[in-house]
């Protein structure tokens, strides 16, 4: 993700790109759709906190998967 985007745009772009793949991976890992949804949501909450604090991950997708793990 580029840091040239505003924080809201970066978060929206990351969600559009990574929410479904992250949820699918977590569903397979946990074998529990509800738990996977909760973990996905928590990963994106942590992304919002990071981005709004001025700490934008270099590789947003990898960062989200690592946080979710």
What pLDDT, in 10s, does the model give residues 17-50? 999 999 999 999 999 999 999 999 999 999 999 9
- Please tell me the distance from the alpha carbon of residue 34 to that of residue 12, in angstroms, as a whole number: 22
In this predicted structure, the answer to whether residue 2 has a pLDDT above a threshold of 90 is no
Tell me the pLDDT band of 4, cut-offs 50, 70 and 90: low
Write the CB contacts of 67 (distance below 8 Å, at least 6 apart in sequence): 42, 43, 46, 47
What local confidence, expressed as pLDDT, does residue 6 receive?
84
What pLDDT, in 10s, does the model give residues 54-68? 999 999 999 999 999
């Amino acid at each position: 993700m580029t840091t040239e985007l505003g924080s809201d745009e970066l978060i929206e772009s990351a969600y559009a790109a990574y929410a479904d793949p992250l949820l699918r991976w977590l569903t397979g890992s946990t074998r529990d759709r509800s738990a996977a949804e909760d973990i996905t949501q928590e990963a994106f909450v942590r992304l919002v906190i990071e981005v709004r604090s001025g700490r934008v991950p270099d590789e947003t997708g990898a960062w989200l998967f690592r946080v979710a793990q």
